[in-house]
């Protein structure tokens, strides 16, 4: 994937709405405040699901906010021009989303008390989700085939670079009090416990009926029907008319797409790159 990308400090970004000037000033001078909450992911890990869930926790399960304001305004992406400008003007505690690798993140975060949730997902499912997404996105070069995309993914030659480097980088924060690692898989397998975990981390308390409403309104079906969260507002502009961000929403879809050879290459690479990290950080099979 080399077309329609810009490179900043060795990391590729989509050309649309990203610039080296912003990425550079972000790192040096964007101030993260102690009361901010940061939602960090490698692309296609369930970012929008996490954002929706946290917004619903903030509104105590009331869906009015998530149904009336686009998701990219509720928790703007700090690294794109649109989100950066919005966040600079925002008063009070902010929700901030980001796909940035740790080395490009605003330096002010590392001396702040701001809380960060890092959401991970089985990279094989991240790969499959990305393959289908980049084919419906209008702002990057589309992979011709799964084989071609496999090469891009393995080399980190795609927006935000290598999953392995991204994950290793952020995992180095795992012992910090203000850093929570959550997985797409645990959200999928037991969303009630995942929401309780997020609430505890953020110091939020929900009544049982409020928690039920968070679960209902953050479900795959509810989000797929919510025009403020399903990206239908940018269809035709940034996404193809027939494209869906909420594609399948399952774990283990990679088994339907990987060849045996690809699975073996991937396992070997995972071992090489991640073997020294505690394997319980990666809850998928």
Q: Which residues bind ligand PPS (CB under 6 A)?
A: 41, 43-49, 125, 129, 132-133, 218-220, 223, 245-249, 253
CA 122/CA 98 separation, integer angstroms: 19
Nearer to ligand PPS, 75 or 112 (CB): 75
Q: Which H or E element spans position 193? A: helix 191-202
The active-site residue out of 99, 238, 244, 257 is 99
Nearer to ligand PPS, 96 or 245 (CB): 245
Query: Residue 74 Cβ, how far from ligand PPS at the closest point, in Å?
Result: 13
Residues 70, 72, 76: CA angle, nearest 5 degrees: 140
Phi first, then psi: what are they for 6, rounded to 5°? -115, 155
Query: Residue 137 Cβ, how far from ligand PPS at the closest point, in Å?
Result: 8
Nearer to ligand PPS, 1 or 112 (CB): 1
Nearest to 254 by CA among 155, 181, 183, 149: 149
Query: Residue 105 Cβ, how far from ligand PPS at the closest point, in Å?
Result: 17
Nearer to ligand PPS, 46 or 106 (CB): 46
CA 275/CA 87 separation, integer angstroms: 37
Query: Residue 230 Cβ, how far from ligand PPS at the closest point, in Å?
Result: 9
Provide the phi-psi class of 96: left if phi over 0, else alpha when psi is between -120 and 50, else beta.
beta
CA 62/CA 169 separation, integer angstroms: 35
Phi first, then psi: what are they for 247, rounded to 5°? -90, -70
For the question of residue 244 being annotated catalytic, the response is no
Catalytic residues: 99
């Amino acid at each position: 994937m080399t077309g329609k990308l810009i490179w900043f400090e060795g990391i590729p970004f989509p050309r649309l709405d990203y610039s080296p000037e912003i990425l550079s000033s972000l790192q040096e001078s964007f101030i993260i405040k102690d009361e901010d909450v940061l939602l960090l992911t490698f692309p296609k890990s369930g970012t929008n699901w996490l954002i929706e869930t946290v917004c619903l926790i903030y509104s105590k399960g009331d869906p009015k906010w998530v149904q009336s304001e686009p998701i990219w305004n509720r928790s703007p992406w700090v690294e794109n021009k649109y989100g950066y400008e919005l966040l600079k003007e925002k008063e009070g505690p902010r929700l901030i989303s980001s796909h940035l690798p740790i080395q490009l993140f605003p330096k002010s975060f590392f001396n702040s008390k701001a809380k960060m949730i890092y959401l991970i997902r089985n990279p094989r499912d991240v790969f499959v989700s990305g393959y289908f997404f980049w084919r419906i996105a209008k702002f990057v070069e589309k992979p011709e085939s799964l084989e071609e995309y496999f090469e891009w993914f393995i080399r980190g030659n795609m927006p935000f670079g290598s999953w392995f480097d991204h994950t290793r980088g952020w995992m180095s924060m795992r012992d910090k009090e203000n850093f929570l690692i959550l997985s797409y898989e645990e959200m999928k397998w037991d969303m009630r416990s995942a929401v309780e975990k997020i609430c505890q981390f953020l110091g939020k308390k929900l009544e049982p009926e409020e928690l039920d409403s968070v679960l209902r309104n953050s479900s795959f079906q509810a989000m797929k029907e919510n025009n403020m969260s399903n990206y239908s507002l940018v269809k035709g502009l940034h996404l193809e008319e027939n494209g869906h961000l909420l594609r399948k929403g399952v774990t283990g879809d990679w088994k339907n797409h990987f060849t045996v050879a690809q699975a073996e290459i991937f396992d070997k690479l995972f071992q090489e790159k991640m073997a020294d990290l505690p394997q319980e950080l990666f809850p998928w099979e």
